[in-house]
């Protein structure tokens, strides 16, 4: 019985918090999907780096990033992807809305905005269909530099080029926007 009351209280609290938030429901939903993506990928990357080093971890990213995106696309109802102005994966090149948004993120970062909070939500027409579009910036941290920085070790570069002959995703500095989560969904 006590448990039930606690759950009720927590639920009421959550609803109140949401009611006070003026952001569209779909934006809040997309935010959660971005959290899920990051929450699935980051621990796996960390584990792979620790257990097998960066060359091994390149292979892990290669395998699990598209898998996680596919899984979330199936489970959330959003088309889930990651994009960049300098992509590594061939599936990560940006369309025109994504390019504009990534450029806006870069400008915001250059203006000193908090890169961990940059996101964009909009309803845009895609082939005549109103579509929810959401992007969340992914900033470059220290751990990312081994594979995306200005001094990637030769053995890591070799592994990257073996899997991604057209790789453009190096030369980044800490704090720069590496890319973004990008989701879309047809509006009803």
Interface ranges with ligand HEC (CB under 6 A): 54, 57-58, 61-62, 65-66, 82, 84, 87-89, 92, 138, 140-141, 143-144, 146-148, 169, 178-179
Taking the complex as a whole, how short is the minimal distance between the CB of residue 91 and ligand HEC, in angstroms? 7
Please report where in the chains the tokens 């927590």 appear, as a residue. Answer: 10
Taking the complex as a whole, how short is the minimal distance between the CB of residue 63 and ligand HEC, in angstroms? 9
Q: The tokens of 109 are what?
A: 């970062």
Radius of gyration in angstroms for the set of CA atoms belonging to the chain, rounded to a whole number: 19
Distance CA 61, CA 15 (A): 37
Buried b (16+ CB within 10 A) or exposed e, 119-135: bbbeeeeeeeeebbbbb
Query: Distances from the Cα of 90 to the Cαs of 68, 82, 108, 118, in angstroms?
Result: 16, 11, 26, 24
Taking the complex as a whole, how short is the minimal distance between the CB of residue 126 and ligand HEC, in angstroms? 21
Taking the complex as a whole, how short is the minimal distance between the CB of residue 124 and ligand HEC, in angstroms? 21
Cβ distance to ligand HEC smaller for residue 157 or 187: 157
Cβ distance to ligand HEC smaller for residue 90 or 100: 90
Write the CB contacts of 173 (distance below 8 Å, at least 6 apart in sequence). 140, 149, 150
Cβ distance to ligand HEC smaller for residue 27 or 146: 146
Cβ distance to ligand HEC smaller for residue 133 or 178: 178
Q: The tokens of 104 are what?
A: 């806006």
Q: In 3D, which of 123, 88, 83, 117 has the Cα closest to residue 103?
A: 83
Cβ distance to ligand HEC smaller for residue 34 or 57: 57
């Amino acid at each position: 019985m006590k448990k039930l009351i606690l759950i009720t209280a927590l639920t009421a609290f959550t609803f109140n918090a949401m009611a006070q938030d003026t952001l569209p429901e779909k934006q809040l939903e997309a935010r959660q999907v971005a959290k899920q993506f990051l929450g699935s990928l980051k621990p796996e990357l960390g584990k792979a780096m620790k257990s097998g080093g960066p060359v091994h971890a390149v292979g892990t990213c290669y395998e699990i990033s598209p898998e996680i995106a596919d899984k979330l696309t199936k489970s959330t109802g959003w088309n889930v992807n990651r994009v960049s102005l300098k992509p590594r994966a061939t599936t990560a090149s940006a369309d025109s809305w994504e390019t504009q948004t990534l450029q806006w993120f870069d400008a915001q970062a250059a203006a000193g905005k908090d890169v961990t909070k940059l996101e964009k939500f909009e309803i845009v027409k895609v082939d005549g269909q109103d579509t929810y579009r959401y992007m969340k910036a992914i900033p470059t941290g220290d751990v990312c530099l081994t594979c995306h920085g200005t001094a990637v070790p030769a053995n890591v570069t070799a592994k990257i080029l073996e899997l991604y002959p057209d790789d453009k995703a190096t030369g980044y500095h800490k704090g720069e926007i590496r890319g973004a989560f990008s989701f879309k969904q047809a509006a009803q």
